[in-house]
Amino acid sequence: MVKLTIDGQTIEVDEGTTILQAANQLGIEIPTLCYHPAIEPYQVCRVCLVEVRKGTTSKLVPSCGYKVEDGIEVLTRSERVLKRRKTIVELILAQAPNSKRVQALAQDLGIEKPRFAKRREIECILCGLCVEMCNTIMGVGAISFARRGIEREVTTPYSIRSDVCTKCGACVSVCPTNCIRIEDIAGEPPEPIASEFDEGLASRPCIYLPFPQAVPNKPVIDRSNCMYFEAGTCQVCKKVCQPGAIDYDQKDEVIEENVGAVIIATGYELYPISEIPEYGGGKYADVIDGLQFERLLSASGPTQGEIRRPSDGKIPKRVAFISCVGSRDPEHHMAYCSKICCMYMAKHALLYKEHVPDGEAIIFNIDVRTSSKDYEEFYTRAKQEANVLYIRGKPSRIIKDGDGLMIWAVNTLTGKQVRVHCDMVVVSMAIVPTKETLKLTKDLRIPTNQYGFLSEVHPKLRPVESLVRGFYLAGCAHGPKDIPESIAQASAAAAKTLEMFSSGELTSEPLVATVNDDLCISCRVCIETCPYEARLYDEEKDIVIVNEILCQGCGACVVACPTGATQQRNLFDQQVIKMVEVIFGTQEPNR
């Protein structure tokens, strides 16, 4: 252990610790610029200079690389340090006047304008972080220093396009002056990883918080893009994480639980714009869907709540909203109404007008459906308070028009052609079940409708129960729904579950399948056929039996059974045949 004092405070640290690390332990802040915790100190910027006194000698050393010695006295803000640091930062600021980090350093030291002239065009201060990052940390070696003196620069070998650059962006992430560009190194722009939470309107790193209110509020690693998992390099996150919380061996865990009931609430996703060729099929950056517009409105969104269009960041002065895109279209897409769009479009238009009061919001609609409490009033408000323009007519085309978009439609009420130039278009895409829902229902053999929405037992009388007993439905996995409806259904599903648990016994319908043991040849066709897994093979008796609680009396096994061993209770073949004969008048009903 080594004992030293920093700004009068005494501390004991391990041998080999740097002064910077020791000071950090004491909570003393030393400004740095070319220092990065994951990178071996290059000690070139000299911003972190401190005064080290040992006996009668005193010297200025860079704290990021200087190892502690027993009995030294370190001063981080002595007059000598500050004077020298000020000059250093002044020199750097002259070279990189636009760098936010350098500006902040200068401000702290009270520098208003550097006394020195800018020597080179590029703002690079030759701190070497990018070079070290690329070579040592990422093991790529696409860039290095070239030439000397005033001509010294960071570049690729022979200053030609690099073939080895992986466009990982590590160099960009550490550059304090934002002067290194992937395009200059690899000859093509980087491919950012789209942020799922921001609906692709922003990028995210490979280690990230899924969304601001995530529970637990801890970052996750995107293994498919992480350079450690891809090439075994980087590990910067591990190096900088002081509590040492990064664990690359951690894996997704599958936790198995025994439960008595399952409520399926797997939500929805939006039908992709790429399915709509007449609206550009996704080729226009400024044609976005409702969820993307929601992110633009959010204070935690990609534009911090300012409405700026994705293509060039301009504030759109005219925004068109189009309803029923991909829904109410049985010919090409989904036949059903997505239900929530009319209301969220009115909300979006209203909020847009609040954000951009001189902007114009146009809603292209076929019908405006406001069939819940207070909804009609809200729609009226959007029109009367915010002067949202409702045009009745479904546009047939969105095409490029200058730096904006042109919408073609017919106003079906006036009969006139509508050609509107818009700066941005928000399309209300159809609500569809998530891919996970589709997989789940397939795996669990839970019946759905043709679009993959979960089927209920009875549309009016049993709307929250699945056709498979023990599964309950809530929210958009069952069909398009808004928030109040989803909550009502979820509450009902929970109550139904509790009702089942609290009753102490299960009741079931009497009309279930039965097996005539003498006829059963245990071919087990019924097990394959049963959608409810109500058929079990009894090894002891060598027959197939019926779990009467799971059986829903659908009759699929009765049809499949080759020997007639399976019959539906109270609905035997003879009974059905008799009924048919009576209906067709070939037999008299029994009196």
Partner 1 sequence: MERKNLIDEINPEIRDVLIEMGAEDIFKCYQCGKCGSACPWFQVGTYDFPVFRVALEAALGTLAASEDKEELAREIDKVYRCVGCEACVDQCPHGVDIPKIFRAARRLLVDFGSYPEVLKATVRRIRETSNPFGEPKDKRPEWAKEIGIKHFDPSMEFLYFAGCIPAFDLRARRVAQATARLLLATEVPFGTLGTAENCCCEIVRRIGAEGVFTELASANIEAFLKAGVERIFVTCPHCYDSFKNEYPDLGSKFEVLHSSQYLLDFIEEGKLKPKRPFEYRVVYHDPCVLGRQNGIYDEPRSILRSIPGIELVEVEDFSRSLSVCCGAGSGGLWMEWDRDERIASVRAKQLTETGADVIAVACPYCLQMIEETTKSLDSEIPVMDVAEILAYSCLEDPGPIILPEDQS
CB of 164 to partner 1, least distance (A): 34
Question: Which DSSP symbol is given to 499?
Answer: H
Q: CB nearer to partner 1: give 10 or 412.
A: 412
In which residue are the tokens 């399976």 written?
A: 566
Please report whether residue 212 would count as binding partner 1 according to CB under 8 A.
no
Q: CB nearer to partner 1: give 39 or 391.
A: 391
CB of 396 to partner 1, least distance (A): 4
Choose the binding region for partner 1 from 130-138, 404-412, 486-494, 528-536 (rule: CB under 8 A): 404-412
Please report whether residue 400 would count as binding partner 1 according to CB under 8 A.
yes
Q: CB nearer to partner 1: give 417 or 575.
A: 417
Q: Residue from 330, 402, 504, 585 that binds partner 1 (CB under 8 A)?
A: 330
Number of residues that bind partner 1 (CB under 8 A): 27
Footprint of partner 1 on residues 351-370 (CB under 8 A)?
366
8 A C-beta contact, residue 451 and residue 334: yes
Q: Mask: binding to partner 1, 271-310, rule CB under 8 A, as x and -?
A: ------xx--------------------------------
Task: Output b/e per residue, 1-30; b: 16+ Cβ within 10 A.
Answer: ebebebeeeebebeeebbbbbbbbebebeb
Choose the binding region for partner 1 from 23-31, 306-314, 402-410, 471-479 (rule: CB under 8 A): 402-410
Strand, helix or coil at 90?
helix
Nearest alpha-carbon partner for 533 in 458, 449, 470, 474? 470
Please state, in angstroms and rounded to a whole number, the distance separating the CA atoms of residues 374 and 40: 63
Q: Mask: binding to partner 1, 412-441, rule CB under 8 A, as x and -?
A: x--xxxx-----------------------
CB of 185 to partner 1, least distance (A): 33
Cis peptide bond prior to 310, omega within 30° of 0: no
Q: CB nearer to partner 1: give 383 or 392.
A: 392
Six token digits for residue 2: 């080594």
Please report whether residue 256 would count as binding partner 1 according to CB under 8 A.
no
Cα–Cα distances (Å) from 515 to 525, 542, 549, 569, in that order, read 13, 12, 15, 9
CB of 405 to partner 1, least distance (A): 11
Q: What residues have CB less than 8 Å from 291, skipping those under 6 apart?
A: 199, 270
Strand, helix or coil at 452?
coil
Please report whether residue 410 would count as binding partner 1 according to CB under 8 A.
yes
Question: Which DSSP symbol is given to 409?
Answer: E
CB of 453 to partner 1, least distance (A): 20
8 A C-beta contact, residue 71 and residue 47: no
CA–chain centroid gap for 66, Å, is: 43
Q: Residue from 252, 331, 374, 588 that binds partner 1 (CB under 8 A)?
A: 331
Please report whether residue 393 would count as binding partner 1 according to CB under 8 A.
yes
The length of the chain in residues reads 591
Choose the binding region for partner 1 from 322-330, 461-469, 506-514, 556-564 (rule: CB under 8 A): 322-330
CB of 571 to partner 1, least distance (A): 39
The alpha carbon torsion through 136, 139, 140, 145 (nearest 10 deg) reads 20
Nearest alpha-carbon partner for 530 in 517, 540, 544? 544
Which residues of the shown chain bind partner 1 in the complex (CB under 8 A)?
277-278, 324, 328-333, 366, 392-397, 399-400, 408-412, 415-418
